[in-house]
Amino acid sequence: MLKENLTFNDLPEMVGRLCEKIESLENVLKDNLAKQAPVKENLHVPMTVEEVCSYLGISKSSFYYKAKHGGIPTIKQGKHLFVYRDELDKWLESGRKGQVPLSIEEEHEQMLAATRHKAKPREL
């Protein structure tokens, strides 16, 4: 590839070759990166009470109440409470009211099924 005696007239040709080689290397790198599995973020990270409160947007007193009565999954290390982020996300997901919004017809059927009807009088 390299000539022993490069002249000024050879520079445009050599620069063109170098650009082609750089482009081919970039394509190989892009292909290799596309084939690699994406790196997952580690969500099993302990969070302090302050971090959990800012993550959920609640006060500390609300956190302590929910930890005691609401079932926030906490870990106690000495005097400190910690919550793993992935367990907190699972707890939030389990608190959903419904997975999929219902259509008007489905809501109507649920309301009719939930209403109590007067018992029919017995016939003697």
pTM over cut 0.85: no
Phi–psi pair at 83, nearest 5 degrees: -135, 130
pLDDT at position 124: 67
What does the domain layout of the chain look like in residue ranges? 46-94
H or E element in which residue 50 lies? helix 49-56
List average pLDDT for each run of 10 residues in the chain, which is 124 residues long: 74 91 94 79 84 90 85 86 88 70 77 74 75
pLDDT at position 105: 83
